[in-house]
Structure 1
Amino acid sequence: MDPHLLRTFVAVVDHGSFSVAASALGYTQSAVSQHIAALETDLGTTLLTRRPVAPTPGGARLMEHARPLLLRLDAARADLARLDQAPAQGLSLACTPLSRTALLTAPLPGEGPHLRVLGREETLQAVTAGEVDLALVDGAAAPSDPLALADIGPLTTLRVAEEPLALVLPAGHPLARRSAVRLADLSEAHWIDAPDTGIPLPRLRVAAGSDGFRARTTYEGTDVLMLGALVAAGHGLTLLPASAARLVEGVALTGLSAPHLVHRVEVVHGRLPEGPARVLAERLGAGA
């Protein structure tokens, strides 16, 4: 399977248009059509309907494989590039919104460090593709368990910090006076789906063993205070690390009695030559 054809297919699905995908990729629309036709011939199945442009059942199944395959190819390219990498003088890193506080206890070494705050998926993609030296990611996990990250290449992960999670509720919510609640009891509550800031709802379904936790509101930003303001205004519930939740005004906080989950931050990196990135990774690990 030609990865160039696969990238074209993903672009068409993402944009829902052959012409928009062509513009994004720098191809002609005719070239995009030829790529899709060649991929369909190779796989022996129709992948896209044309009007409207949407994946067929076979195309939807291919999309489940396409992103991990392309990301793994980017990881291989970046890993080979690191073999000949000279010691870096600068430092570039990416972090998720709720992991960046870990940097407050680890001064950034080197000159002119470059910090990018991205969503969880984008952060992992950046370090996998070698766009940044290392990354800080966060999520919910059982105490001392590693984060359930995708297998995206020969990357090293290391615990940086763990802290309790807090359920964030509007101040007048009936559960606001409770010291702790069971997560499974909230499966039918109204939730805010904030995949890059709060704990993603699919993770809550796995943790509670429930197919509930449906979103009433979707927030695609990375501002924790904005997420808290949505909770305060009654748009739904969310889970945040306790230290971040305490910064939000107009809400109530309660703990989880079951399951026992913590908010965990990890540093993720590939091969690190001598330089600021290695120094920072060692500092973050030592701080843990």
Structure 2
Amino acid sequence: MIGTGSISIADVDPHLLRTFLAVADTGSFSAAAQTLRYTQSAVSQQIATLEADLGTPLLTRRPVALTPAGERLRRHAALILVRLEAARADVTRALAPGRLDLGLTPLAWAAPVATALATIRADSTPLRTHVRVAGRDRIVEAVATGEYDLGLLDGFTAPNDPLRLPEPGAGGPRSIGVAESPAVVAVPAGHPLRGRRRVDLTDLADAYWIDAPEIAPFTRLPVDGLRASLRYDGCDVTVLTGLIAAGHGLAVLPEPLVAAHDGLVGVPVARLVHRVELLSLRADDGPAARLSAMLSAAT
């Protein structure tokens, strides 16, 4: 409970919480109004109503800033709204069984996933399956709210270390590792590095890299000082490998992907692997739970 009144956080209108978070995130009543497509006076009235309900100021006005009570509410409000969205999606899914929504980052597709999904589709007729490619943050959010049944996320990390993902909070989605493969620096077939048995990324600080935030962001690699010669904002892996093969820059990629490309050579990276993790929220008996159980058993 926040404040001295008899109103608890469970009694608060979710619309008021959304407005409060918009003001807290933007730091402005007018910016929140634009985001929510409300008038500024409507936003001010909703914040005043929320403060009256909870019996405490949540925001200072000039400048706009969170009070200590507002800081505490912000932590709770975000989780409450996520759980409400997840409950809504779960109820909707119960009314329409036989569907599986899977979100994945561009490099997250792995052989164990393909095999398990094929088994489930063969055993679950009819099963409407929707596979969506998206960025890591989008997938984490969509799984947390129940929009996606499952998420497949990939990244580079030390061997046997998990990916660094946002903290899920109580009752939030959890991840399990489903695949690991060697990480390699992808270089053109005629590149001077092609004959190296292994390379340390710190030795490549002077090399030119391709920054592909949606596929293989070099900013997430465990080394500082790398510089980009080209930025690719798409999520088509074929375009990225074509840019590397044409000599526009280097990228760290999973070894199986590079090995399948005739114009590329993979140089192993010391102390680094490509890891794929499965993100899930619910534990029911549907196709999402079956896929999660099959992948967990395979690790």
Q: TM-score range by the shorter chain?
A: 0.7 to 0.9
Distance verdict in 2 for CA 1:170–1:33, change over 3 Å: farther
Asked if residue 125 in structure 1 is aligned to residue 135 in structure 2, the reply is: no
Give 3-state SS (helix, strand or coil) of 1:151's partner. coil
Distance verdict in 2 for CA 1:27–1:236, change over 3 Å: farther
- Counterpart among 109, 114, 121 of residue 104 in structure 1: 114
The one-character-per-residue Cα deviations of 1:239-262 (angstroms, maximum 9, x if unpaired) are 1111112233422221113xx111
Q: CA deviation at 1:82?
A: 7.6
User: Residue in 1 aligned with 2:59?
Assistant: 42
Count of residue pairs brought into register by the alignment? 261
- Counterpart among 171, 176, 185 of residue 194 in structure 2: 176
Q: CA deviation at 1:224?
A: 1.1
Distance in 1 (CA, whole Å) between partners of 2:100 and 2:244 is 36
User: Residue in 2 aligned with 1:228?
Assistant: 241
User: Residue in 2 aligned with 1:62?
Assistant: none
Distance in 1 (CA, whole Å) between partners of 2:75 and 2:132 is 22
Amino acid paired to 2:267? T
Distance in 2 (CA, whole Å) between partners of 1:175 and 1:45 is 58
User: Residue in 2 aligned with 1:272?
Assistant: 283
Amino acid paired to 1:105? T
Q: CA deviation at 1:275?
A: 0.9
Q: CA deviation at 1:29?
A: 7.7
Instruction: Report the RMSD for the aligned CA atoms in angstroms.
Output: 3.8
- Counterpart among 158, 161, 169 of residue 142 in structure 1: 158
Distance verdict in 2 for CA 1:138–1:177, change over 3 Å: same
Give 3-state SS (helix, strand or coil) of 2:59's partner. helix
Distance in 1 (CA, whole Å) between partners of 2:63 and 2:243 is 42
Alignment of 1:228-267 (within 5 A): 228-257=241-270, 260-267=271-278
Q: CA deviation at 1:274?
A: 1.1
Distance in 1 (CA, whole Å) between partners of 2:232 and 2:27 is 25
Give 3-state SS (helix, strand or coil) of 2:156's partner. strand
The answer as to whether partners of 2:188 and 2:247 remain within 8 angstroms in 1 is: yes
Q: CA deviation at 1:201?
A: 2.3
Rg: which structure is higher?
2
Give 3-state SS (helix, strand or coil) of 1:169's partner. strand
Asked if residue 203 in structure 1 is aligned to residue 220 in structure 2, the reply is: yes
Asked if residue 75 in structure 1 is aligned to residue 82 in structure 2, the reply is: yes
Q: CA deviation at 1:226?
A: 0.7
Give 3-state SS (helix, strand or coil) of 2:203's partner. helix
> Identity rate of aligned residues, in percent?
39
User: Residue in 2 aligned with 1:53?
Assistant: none
TM-score, normalization by structure 2 = 0.72
Distance in 2 (CA, whole Å) between partners of 1:2 and 1:150 is 21
Distance in 2 (CA, whole Å) between partners of 1:178 and 1:44 is 61
The answer as to whether partners of 1:225 and 1:248 remain within 8 angstroms in 2 is: no
User: Residue in 1 aligned with 2:173?
Assistant: 155
Distance verdict in 2 for CA 1:152–1:253, change over 3 Å: same
Amino acid paired to 2:227? R
Amino acid paired to 1:129? T
Q: Which has the higher contact order (CA 8 A, sep 6+)?
A: 1
